[in-house]
Amino acid sequence: MTAGPYLDSPPLTEEQRVIVEQPADAMVLVTAGAGAGKTHTLVRRVESLVSDEGLATGDILVLTFSRAAVRELRERLSRHGDRSRHVRVTTFDSWALEILNEVAADIEWKTRSFDERIREATKVVADENRAPEWLDELRHVVIDEVQDLVGDRRELIEVLLESYDCGFTIVGDPAQAIYGYQVTDPDERTIETNRFFDWLRSYFVDDLVELSLTRNFRASTEEACSALSFESTMRGCRTLADAERAHEELRLELATRMDFGDITVPFIRDSLCVTDITTAVLCRTNGEALLISEWLHDAGIPHQLRRAAQDRAVPAWLNELMHADQGALTLARQRFDELYPSLPAGAGRENDPERVWRLLCASTRERAGRSVDLSRLREAISAGRLPDELTAQPPHHLVISTFHRAKGLEFDRVLVVDPGQITVEKDDLSADVADRARALYVAMTRPRKELYRLEPPPGARPVENGFRLVRKDRRTGRWARFGYQYWKRSGLELLGGDIHPHHPAGSHQIDGDPVSLQEHLRSRTAPGDSVVLERIDDVHEDHEERLGPGYALTHGEHAVGVASERFRRDLYRHMQQSRSYQPRNWPRRITDLRIDNVETIAGERAAAVHAGLGELGVWLAPRPVGLGRFHYDRTEKGKD
């Protein structure tokens, strides 16, 4: 194996080397604990399959669960891999979509649910007459985080491994299984735990090579190691009582960690602002993450709120790249190389230009690699076809995340918010309570060096005086602020897609010069800036489609966007006390929102031309985030 690309990568241990050097047709199952170097070993395994076992990059398929994991693996492959850097790494969902787009391109698969697509792809893979030919070339499948492979995705992989004669390297940690509500049927949820492991062992009974990794490399201090002793407890939680006990024991362990302290105290605040170490604040629910983000914002601490994996944003630098030469319809490789160094920072910019160029060519199906057709790039943006490397959140030194979303990640310092005691209801499942215990275990095994407890002040907690004032609104699935009175509505979460995607700012419902508003978004708007939604009209009285009123998003003096129909529909449903009730009293302003980032939007070409923004139909739009707070007119009933 060549040593060059691995000079800055840790050497393999004997246990890791045995996995890496298995033959290409071996069927390998690796179980390993948190921080045991599973991902590190997989990267070296993939490189060995190409360099030592002679597989072509197209013979290997690397499947992972989340986009975060795709990004992590690709990043490590491009940093440490040599020939393997071009191996296909994708999520189960993207891979299923690719199969369906190939065999039934006339169907609008994007509009179908993830689960439906997975089920359809399983049928295609099982049918040798329909399966795409390139599946025959598959010689090795690599799967990371296999403990989360449940339900429809598990069936897809079982069918793949039964139907194709290929080797595999499958890696997982049963102690970190937090698949949550991926499986909706409660009975199914209980039997899914460990089901894929059991299937592998029984189906490949004679051929399966079972290996394990036993040493932890992540945690370099005693405190960072503190949760690791719970690994076997986490693997063994099967009954409700086990799961409850495991959760309480982990909480007790957390209680012995030092409290991080009050972040408004200057020296504690400053320690969160240092950029040369990475810190994560981890909590149980997204509602809590929103409140903590608000608290940090008020204390003037820059941070990033971790988005859901499926919530993607196209970075602003793509808009700059596409509009660099007025009227140009293609972008040549040489011109790309000239422009790339001066493009603004953002998702994907940490990649080298060669990698970004390849990704752009792949997204526009440009095989020769000499130029990129900008209309096709616009279509790729509009159809959501850009790869995760260009749309995932860029790295940040301070991340606020739920336990679930922190899976597979590591940080120098981790601050864990105590999730509180589980109050088990009679219809709670052991699988769900175990899921909560394992989620806390995942959180507590993320630090490299420091692990603290964090106790947010009462205002940054969802419960006040015993009332759950911040909770998920059942009708919209958004986090919302409620009041002590049942009818009170005090705020709603903003999501990606809440700013109208069809019209650039200034060209629809609000006044302004679209060209100068684009300049404002480009050069005078930054992540973390406060923004406000201001009501601009009255409720839409169409009985078919009940929408809340229109809102403009303002950044200082400038109206930089308008609320989308989806936001207005959700607002209407949220304000309805019951299905027959027609809300009349609408918030005048919605505050406590911030700019997450400015993103590239592919909207209607005619709208762009009309606004003087060129022919491509691509422009910049703000993406607000936060748990909005409603302000009503004082004269109106239900004022705040």
Contacts 24+ apart (CB under 8 A), 542-548: 545/569, 546/572, 546/573, 547/571, 547/572, 548/572, 548/575, 548/583, 548/586
Q: In the bound complex, what is the minimum distance in angstroms from residue 72's beta carbon to ligand ATP? A: 8
Residue 372 DSSP class: E
Integer CA distances (angstroms), 101 to 34, 91, 164, 260, 372, in order: 36, 15, 20, 50, 22
- Of 9-17, 158-166, 268-276, 460-468: span binding ligand ATP (CB under 6 A): 9-17
* 37 binds ligand ATP, rule: CB under 6 A: yes
**Residue 12: CB partners within 8 Å, gap ≥ 6?**
20, 41, 44
* 10 binds ligand ATP, rule: CB under 6 A: yes
* 173 binds ligand ATP, rule: CB under 6 A: yes
Query: Among 38, 74, 312, 478, which residue sits at the site for ligand ATP (rule: CB under 6 A)?
Result: 38
* 518 binds ligand ATP, rule: CB under 6 A: no
How many residues belong to the chain?
A: 640
Q: Which helix (H) or strand (E) holds 317?
A: helix 316-322
Q: In the bound complex, what is the minimum distance in angstroms from residue 155's beta carbon to ligand ATP? A: 24
Residues 187, 156 contacting (CB under 8 angstroms): no
Question: Which CB atom, from 3 or from 105, has the smaller least distance to ligand ATP?
Answer: 3
Q: In the bound complex, what is the minimum distance in angstroms from residue 32's beta carbon to ligand ATP? A: 6
- Of 12-20, 295-303, 335-343, 576-584: span binding ligand ATP (CB under 6 A): 12-20
Q: In the bound complex, what is the minimum distance in angstroms from residue 109's beta carbon to ligand ATP? A: 31
621 is in an annotated binding site: no
Q: In the bound complex, what is the minimum distance in angstroms from residue 224's beta carbon to ligand ATP? A: 11
In single-letter form, the type of residue at position 503 comes to: H
33 is in an annotated binding site: yes
Q: In the bound complex, what is the minimum distance in angstroms from residue 218's beta carbon to ligand ATP? A: 4
Question: Which CB atom, from 413 or from 568, has the smaller least distance to ligand ATP?
Answer: 413
Question: Which CB atom, from 177 or from 374, has the smaller least distance to ligand ATP?
Answer: 177
Number of H helices, E strands in the chain: 22, 24
Within 13 A of 44's CA, how many CA atoms are on the CB side?
23
* 32 binds ligand ATP, rule: CB under 6 A: yes
Q: In the bound complex, what is the minimum distance in angstroms from residue 43's beta carbon to ligand ATP? A: 8
Q: Return phi, psi of residue 279, to 5°.
A: -130, 140
Residues 356, 315 contacting (CB under 8 angstroms): no
- Of 28-36, 152-160, 468-476, 488-496: span binding ligand ATP (CB under 6 A): 28-36
38 is in an annotated binding site: yes
Per DSSP, the three-state class of 140 is strand
Question: Which CB atom, from 391 or from 445, has the smaller least distance to ligand ATP?
Answer: 445
Indicate if the alpha-carbon torsion angle 570, 575, 578, 583 is positive or negative. negative
**Residue 156: CB partners within 8 Å, gap ≥ 6?**
92, 96, 118, 121, 122, 125
Q: In the bound complex, what is the minimum distance in angstroms from residue 215's beta carbon to ligand ATP? A: 8
**Residue 598: CB partners within 8 Å, gap ≥ 6?**
316, 521, 522, 525, 620, 621, 622, 623
Within 13 A of 442's CA, how many CA atoms are on the CB side?
28
Interacting positions 395-434 with ligand ATP (CB under 6 A): 408, 410
Query: Among 29, 30, 36, 160, which residue sits at the site for ligand ATP (rule: CB under 6 A)?
Result: 36
| Gap between the Cα atoms of 156 and 162, Å rounded | 10
Residue with tokens 């705040």: 640
Interacting positions 186-245 with ligand ATP (CB under 6 A): 217-218
* 16 binds ligand ATP, rule: CB under 6 A: yes
The token duo for 293 is: 């983000």
- Of 27-35, 303-311, 328-336, 391-399: span binding ligand ATP (CB under 6 A): 27-35
Residue 430-449 contact track with ligand ATP, rule CB under 6 A, x = bound: ---------------x----
* 12 binds ligand ATP, rule: CB under 6 A: yes
* 40 binds ligand ATP, rule: CB under 6 A: yes
36 is in an annotated binding site: yes
Q: In the bound complex, what is the minimum distance in angstroms from residue 514's beta carbon to ligand ATP? A: 45
Interacting residues with ligand ATP (CB under 6 A): 10-13, 16, 32, 34-40, 173, 176, 217-218, 408, 410, 445
User: Residues forming the annotated binding site for ATP?
Assistant: 32-39
